[in-house]
Amino acid sequence: QEGDGISEFVTSVRTGRTVSEIETGQDEKNTKNPFDEVEVQLTKLTDQFPTGEDWLFELKYDGYRIISFVEGNTVRLMTRNGKDYSDKFKGVVPSLTELASGRATVLDGEMVVLDSAGKTDFQALQNYIKSPKGKALTYIIFDLLALDGKDLRGLPLIERKNQLEALMKDAPNNLHYSRHVRGDNTASVAGACFTAACEAGMEGIVGKKSDSVYSGTRSGDWVKVKCERRQEFVIGGYIRTDKKTSGISSLLLGVY
């Protein structure tokens, strides 16, 4: 093998400076993120599909909501409650560094573990946190909050997603762009997406206004419709409690 493998790289990933620029004490070139914490955008639960072409629909995933802050070769993975899960989910850290390529980036997405059918498996994700051996993480990214030091939260969602899709072209395999479909005036598109999601065993769908800003609140610009898995049972018998409080201590159920 020829070469030492590193001599061709003369620019610092962390600071963006060449070796000579570091020696002469020049300032860092890499931009910083415009903020280092954020209130996540939340969804409102509804049982009605929103209508109109100004709505975008995505799958709802079952995992951990993670905001990733990338600067140079430094990555922080923060939960919606402000906990740093970088060590727990360090399997995606190199991929995020590769994706950003030295650009300051803030991403919003869901950290998941997929089963053999491609469905998100929350129990498998919890098992991964306890013991990552034999399991693989996937970070499904659905929003771009900052890029190259610019705060993008005030841009319409569709513009943020367009920039995100371009950024994620040829992304590492464990980083997935969350695709969407545009709604219509009859709710048929949302209904079809919902039916497909439920039949595939997914959590449901999320509807987002295409022109909405990232307000970091539960404003109604993002809504979720969850698949309800129901089953009819027959009550075959019950035993009343012998405690002082009234109620039932046990129940016998049957199912066809």
Helices (H), 110-211: 122-130, 157-167, 188-199
**Residue 122: closest CA among 114, 130, 131, 134:** 114
Structure tokens at 218: 């539960």
Could you tell me if 72 and 98 are in contact, meaning their C-beta atoms sit under 8 angstroms apart? no
60 has catalytic annotation: yes
Q: Residue type at 33?
A: N
Rounded distance between C-alpha atoms, residue 2 and residue 134, angstroms: 35
SS3 161: helix
Rounded distance between C-alpha atoms, residue 177 and residue 99, angstroms: 12
Annotated catalytic residue: which of 32, 44, 60, 243? 60
Backbone angles phi, psi at 120, to 5 degrees: -75, 135
Could you tell me if 85 and 66 are in contact, meaning their C-beta atoms sit under 8 angstroms apart? yes
Structure tokens at 127: 């098992």
3-state SS of 139-151?
EEEEEEEEECCEE
Active site residues: 60
